[in-house]
Amino acid sequence: MTQVRVLVTGAGGFIGHHLTSYLVERGYWVRGVDLKQPEYAATNAHEFLQLDLRRWENTLRATEGIDEVYNLAANMGGIGFIESHKAEIMHDSALINLHMLEAARANGAARFLFSSSACVYPGYLQDSPDVTPLKEEDAYPADAEDGYGWEKLFMERQCRHYREDYGLQTRIVRFHNVYGELGTYDGGREKSPAAICRKVALAEPGGTIEIWGDGQQTRSYCYIADCVEGIHRLMRSDYVDPLNLGTDRLVTINELVDIVAKIAGKQLHRTHDLSKPQGVRGRNSDNTRLREVLKWEPATSLEKGLSRTYRWIEGELQKAGRLPQLVTAGRA
Ligand SMILES: NC(=O)c1ccc[n+]([C@@H]2O[C@H](COP(=O)([O-])OP(=O)(O)OC[C@H]3O[C@@H](n4cnc5c(N)ncnc54)[C@H](O)[C@@H]3O)[C@@H](O)[C@H]2O)c1
């Protein structure tokens, strides 16, 4: 049997890096493309190209000889970043995605997976912490997250048009807060689980950490190993409409902090900065369709996933000489 040749864009980023390893292990030939090399571990892609995918000629080069495209490249970050860079996000990600779809079609790729987001769901359904889990059809009537969410919703639509008009087999996954090792944990683009792990690791036992908002806002979180398995299952399925990929265990940010503090073995106090961006008040994934379509759903518990993530972030901070003397000495 000839080896399937896949392209992973965003392969220098968090999900793309893990997905590359997952696909290589399963026998695919993988080309990774990104603006940058992966930050924390070397790629094991068969070929890795550093290309700016906002540029049309680069998307043609990236998709040359490729059977299946996993399109994960995006200009994105946590809530602080996406609320303050709307024009840049829409500009960059729309260019990447419009060009990537057209280049995949022009080069004869058979399948194209687009990484969408729970940020497509309307604000008016997410104004309470005990939010009703979001079903795929709830995305309309639309009132997506400004900037980032609208670009995702627009591209979901364009994927459908490419499938209907040109026969390109598109798959659309809506991620809900993916976390895990090798994800950005500092610098302004990190998401809440990584930011909390970093703050807890840096805090002295008995110390205080700052939380954005009152901490009563709720989310559900999906561990990276489950995320890449779900992506692959969706690509292999014949399901063409958008599909949630997340867990449906709703926790408050305060509960998330408590879980991480327990993992770290630290008693900590919290202060709440109400001036910081918090995003929607509550968001959860309805996994009914995920279970029906993939006969599967994410299974890693938050405690297990966060424990692995925390240990990795703690290790990175230790390598960088950023942990308080007390903790470093205690572990030596
Ligand atoms: N992580 C999550 O919780 C989450 C949630 C919802 C949706 N998503 C989506 O999943 C995908 C992957 O997210 P991630 O968490 O791995 O993010 P990430 O930021 O770690 O990875 C995205 C990668 O895209 C690359 N990129 C940006 N602009 C580029 C360009 N012009 N050309 C080439 N590469 C470029 C970045 O360098 C980065 O490595 C994105 O589309 C994101 O919107 C992620």
Q: Are residues 214 and 86 in the same domain?
A: no
pLDDT at residue 326 tops 70: no
Angle at 59 between CA 5 and CA 148, to 5 degrees: 105
Co-location of 262 and 137 in the same domain: no
Q: Over 62-120, what HEC string results?
A: HHCCCCEEEECCCCCCCHHHHCCCHHHHHHHHHHHHHHHHHHHHHCCCCEEEEEEEHHH
In this predicted structure, the answer to whether residue 330 has a pLDDT above a threshold of 90 is no
DSSP letters spanning 191-236: -HHHHHHHHHHHSPTT-EEEEES-S--EE--EEHHHHHHHHHHHHH
Tell me the Cα Rg of the chain: 20
Let me know the angle formed at the C-alpha of 215 by 260 and 184, rounded to the nearest 5 degrees.
50
Residues 204 and 234 reside in one and the same domain? no
Provide the mean pLDDT of the chain.
95
Does 290 map to a domain? Answer: no
Instruction: Write out the residue range of the structural domain in which residue 314 sits.
Output: 192-219+249-283+300-325
Question: Average pLDDT in the 280-309 region?
Answer: 97
Same domain, residue pair 234 and 255: no
> Which atom of ligand 1 is closest in space to residue 178's alpha carbon?
3
- Same-domain pairing of 310 and 201: yes
Same domain, 42 and 60: yes
For the record, the structure tokens of 269 come out as 């106090």
Q: Kindly give the distance from the C-alpha atom of residue 10 to the centroid of ligand 1, in angstroms, as a whole number.
A: 6
Tokens, residue 255? 């509960």
256 and 138 together in one domain: no
- Burial of 326 per CB tally in 10 Å (0-12, 13-18, 19+): exposed
pLDDT at res. 79: 87
Segment 136-142 mean pLDDT: 98
141 and 205 together in one domain: no
Does residue 30 contact residue 23 with C-beta atoms inside 8 Å?
yes
d(CA 298, CA 86): 31
Q: Say yes or no: CB of residue 115 within 6 Å of ligand 1.
A: yes
- Say if residue 278's pLDDT is above 90: no
For strands 251-252 and 178-179, give the pairing: unpaired
Is 40 one of the catalytic residues?
no
Q: Does 246 sit in the ligand 1 pocket, CB within 6 Å?
A: no
Distance 13 CA to ligand 1 centre (A): 6
Question: Ligand 1 centre from 106 Cα, in Å?
Answer: 24
Q: What is the mean pLDDT of residues 121-138?
A: 96
**Residue with CA nearest ligand 1 atom 34:** 34
Q: What is the mean pLDDT of residues 58-80?
A: 96
Determine the average pLDDT of the residues in 166-184.
97
Q: Sign of dihedral through CA atoms 187, 73, 3, 49? A: negative
- Single pTM value for the model: 0.96
Do residues 227 and 99 lie in contact, with contact meaning Cβ atoms separated by under 8 Å? no
DSSP state of 131: P
Residue of 22, 28, 148, 185 with catalytic role: 148
Q: What per-residue confidence (pLDDT) applies to 282?
A: 96
CATH number of the domain residue 258 falls in: 3.90.25.10
Mean pLDDT for the stretch of residues 10-14: 98
Rounded to the nearest 5°, which phi and psi values hold at 263?
Answer: -60, -40
Domain assignment present for 315: yes
Work out whether strand 169-175 and strand 178-179 pair parallel, antiparallel, or are unpaired: unpaired
Predicted confidence (pLDDT) at residue 139 exceeds the cutoff of 80: yes
Rounded-to-integer distance, Cα 310 and Cα 301, Å: 14
How far from 104 is each of 37, 67, 69, 70, 98, CA to CA, in Å?
23, 9, 7, 11, 10
Contact of 297 with 176, CB cutoff 8 Å: no
